[in-house]
A and B are shown apart, each in its own frame.
Chain A
Amino acid sequence: MRLFYHLGRYYLLISKVFAWPERSSMYYRQTMRELEYLGINSIGIVVIISLFVGAVLTIQMDYNIESPMLPRYLIGVGVRDSLLLEFSSTMVALILAGKVGSSIASELGTMRITEQIDALEIMGVNSASFLILPKIISTMFFFPLLTVLSLIVGMSGGYLVAVITDVSTPQEFVYGLQYVFYPYYFTYALKKMIVFAFIITTISAYHGYYAEGSSLEVGKSSTRAVVHSSVVLLMFNLILTKLILR
């Protein structure tokens, strides 16, 4: 029963968020702020993690392709497809759910318990729309860029390992990266990420917006935001994979 309560309230919040903005200039300014805060500030963590995962994937691929019958360029193919199909969208989204989701929930939660949201409502501002819509727009725009970045950095990490160790020659590795490339793998990754951005942002915003009580509660609601958005994200990963990838 609690589930239906939350689903209903989530739906109401989202419909409030997508009301027509009254002052587009203010929304524009707010969106620029969020782009920096939620997007640009996440570049660092995506780069670091993608670099290491690309490197590790290369080593593991080498480990799996021990048979001399198999061509070495398969390492490059494997790294590329692992990044494209799962890591640079789903795994990066999970990481972003932790970083961006918790920051959204705690920001809105703090605004709620310190009556900043009430202050907006009193003025006659649609607080849900003013606070949440710019976040949705900026993450749905920026997260796919982070996927692209993660792909590039991940493959570079793999290449570095190929150069430094002798798992494969750099030429073979690059050949593998280019071998039989399906462009729709790429669009699949981007589409998934756009959906994930929406899930992370709205679920985290929901938990923050309806926080109540003390600052302790804000912490709890930010934890719930991360857990719920991660679970929903993984569910949608399954559904989308079934739908898009055939």
Chain B
Amino acid sequence: MIEVRNISKSFGDHLVLDDISISFEKGKTNLIIGKSGSGKTVLLQSIVGLHEIDTGEILFDERDFTRMNFKQKKQVRKEFGMLFQGAALFDSFTVEENVRYPLDMFTDMTFDEKMERTNFCLQRVDMMNANKLFPAELSGGMRKRVGIARAITLNPRYLFCDEPNSGLDPQTAIRIDKLIREITGEFNITTIVNTHDMNSVMEIGDKVMFIYEGIKCWEGTKDDILNADNQYLNDFVFATNLAKTVKLIQNKKPETRS
């Protein structure tokens, strides 16, 4: 479980995160949603420590990350896996070297053990026959899958995904979402996913937090979200005609509502 308590962050005099508190649960996919520019990336990067926060605390299973020294932080970071918006695979390494990299860097495994683990992770994301390819030779969806494989090589306790399906077609996007959710359950990971995609919310939103201009406006599950009475959230959720129509139909037949 990851607990965020009263964190604020500003760049110069631009307040980007305003006193946010939330807890993210283990074995679930926790979503941070909001329109672009609302502060999702900054929140995620603050949680993992890529940004210094101005005030507040972040606890990883009761361990206060904000009060740790450099060495302790480094130890906790070894329990992190992160999938970046553009996958952030290392260009000069092959797929296999990318996924093996954390093992090379942090374990004393033999080469065969490392390859076994690497291939297991690649297989888990359905990327078996691409070992020797370079990232530039992969499609967006494949890159994301390799990114996930690299993120899980060291058996992380925490998985962070920044817009895992941006730039992907809807089918591939859902496939990536489902993969993230399955892995979260299988390995009992605390997963946080940033997204502005309502499809993801309805697909994998075990727990959802809505952020608007740096302020947490709402939290709940995907089942509550359609009936929430927060104006900003409704504007976000029902931005498309499709969603508006669904809501209209739903309201006409109250007996089908669960």
Q: Which residues of A contact B (CB under 8 A)?
A: 22-23, 25-26, 33, 110-111, 114-116, 118-119, 121-125
The verdict on B253 contacting chain A, using a C-beta distance below 8 Å, is: no
The verdict on B92 contacting chain A, using a C-beta distance below 8 Å, is: yes
Roughly how many angstroms separate A118 CA and B147 CA in the complex, as a whole number? 13
The verdict on B104 contacting chain A, using a C-beta distance below 8 Å, is: yes
Roughly how many angstroms separate A115 CA and B106 CA in the complex, as a whole number? 20
Roughly how many angstroms separate A116 CA and B88 CA in the complex, as a whole number? 5
Nearest 8 CB-CB pairs, A to B?
A124-B77, A115-B88, A119-B88, A115-B84, A124-B74, A122-B82, A116-B88, A124-B78
Q: Which residues of B contact A123 (CB under 8 A)?
A: 77-78, 80, 101-102, 105-106
Given A33-B92, A114-B91, 16 extra CB contacts under 8 A: A22-B105, A23-B105, A114-B86, A114-B88, A116-B90, A116-B91, A118-B45, A118-B84, A119-B82, A119-B88, A122-B48, A122-B82, A123-B105, A124-B74, A124-B77, A124-B106
Closest B residue to A125 by beta carbon equals B105
Q: Which residues of A contact B102 (CB under 8 A)?
A: 123
Q: Shortest distance in angstroms between B189's beta carbon and chain A's nearest beta carbon? A: 15
- Contacts A26-B105, A124-B78 given; does A115 touch B91 at CB 8 Å: no
Task: Decide if A122 touches B50 in the complex (CB within 8 Å).
Answer: yes
- Contacts A116-B91, A123-B77 given; does A26 touch B104 at CB 8 Å: yes
Q: Which of A25, A121, A123, A125 has the most CB of B within 10 A?
A: A123
The verdict on B166 contacting chain A, using a C-beta distance below 8 Å, is: no
Closest B residue to A25 by beta carbon equals B104
Q: Which residues of B contact A125 (CB under 8 A)?
A: 105
Q: Which residues of A contact B77 (CB under 8 A)?
A: 122-124
Closest B residue to A118 by beta carbon equals B50
Task: Decide if B92 touches A121 in the complex (CB within 8 Å).
Answer: no
Task: Decide if B105 touches A111 in the complex (CB within 8 Å).
Answer: no
Q: Which residues of B contact A25 (CB under 8 A)?
A: 104
Q: Shortest distance in angstroms between A226's beta carbon and chain B's nearest beta carbon? A: 21
The majority secondary structure among interface residues of chain A is helix
Instruction: List, sorted by A's number, 24 A–B pairs whose CB atoms are closer than 8 Å.
Output: A23-B105, A25-B104, A110-B91, A111-B90, A115-B88, A116-B89, A116-B91, A118-B45, A118-B50, A118-B84, A118-B88, A119-B88, A119-B90, A122-B50, A122-B77, A122-B82, A123-B77, A123-B80, A123-B101, A123-B102, A123-B105, A124-B77, A124-B106, A125-B105
Q: Shortest distance in angstroms between B143's beta carbon and chain A's nearest beta carbon? A: 11
The majority secondary structure among interface residues of chain B is mixed
Q: Which residues of A contact B91 (CB under 8 A)?
A: 110-111, 114, 116
The verdict on B21 contacting chain A, using a C-beta distance below 8 Å, is: no
The verdict on B85 contacting chain A, using a C-beta distance below 8 Å, is: yes
- Contacts A122-B48, A123-B77 given; does A23 touch B104 at CB 8 Å: yes
Q: Which residues of B contact A124 (CB under 8 A)?
A: 74-75, 77-78, 106
Q: Which residues of A contact B89 (CB under 8 A)?
A: 116
Roughly how many angstroms separate A22 CA and B78 CA in the complex, as a whole number? 14
Roughly how many angstroms separate A112 CA and B228 CA in the complex, as a whole number? 40
Task: Decide if A119 touches B78 in the complex (CB within 8 Å).
Answer: no
Q: Which of B48, B50, B85, B88 has the most CB of A within 10 A?
A: B88
Q: Which residues of B contact A111 (CB under 8 A)?
A: 90-91
Q: Shortest distance in angstroms between A114's beta carbon and chain B's nearest beta carbon? A: 5
Closest A residue to B77 by beta carbon equals A124
Q: Shortest distance in angstroms between A5's beta carbon and chain B's nearest beta carbon? A: 15
Roughly how many angstroms separate A122 CA and B50 CA in the complex, as a whole number? 8
Q: Which residues of B contact A22 (CB under 8 A)?
A: 105
- A interface footprint on B183-221 (CB within 8 Å = 1, 0 otherwise): 000000000000000000000000000000000000000
Q: Which residues of B contact A33 (CB under 8 A)?
A: 92
Closest A residue to B76 by beta carbon equals A124
Q: Shortest distance in angstroms between A130's beta carbon and chain B's nearest beta carbon? A: 8
Q: Which residues of B contact A118 (CB under 8 A)?
A: 45, 50, 84, 88
Q: Which residues of A contact B104 (CB under 8 A)?
A: 23, 25-26
Q: Shortest distance in angstroms between A230's beta carbon and chain B's nearest beta carbon? A: 26
Roughly how many angstroms separate A22 CA and B77 CA in the complex, as a whole number? 15
Roughly how many angstroms separate A26 CA and B108 CA in the complex, as a whole number? 12
Q: Which chain B residues numbered 26 to 54 have a C-beta less than 8 Å away from chain A?
A: 45, 48, 50
Roughly how many angstroms separate A8 CA and B109 CA in the complex, as a whole number? 40
Closest A residue to B78 by beta carbon equals A124
Roughly how many angstroms separate A121 CA and B50 CA in the complex, as a whole number? 8
Q: Which residues of A contact B75 (CB under 8 A)?
A: 124
Q: Which residues of A contact B74 (CB under 8 A)?
A: 124
Roughly how many angstroms separate A115 CA and B82 CA in the complex, as a whole number? 11
Q: Which residues of A contact B45 (CB under 8 A)?
A: 118
Q: Which residues of A contact B85 (CB under 8 A)?
A: 115
Q: Which of B75, B92, B101, B105 has the most CB of A within 10 A?
A: B105
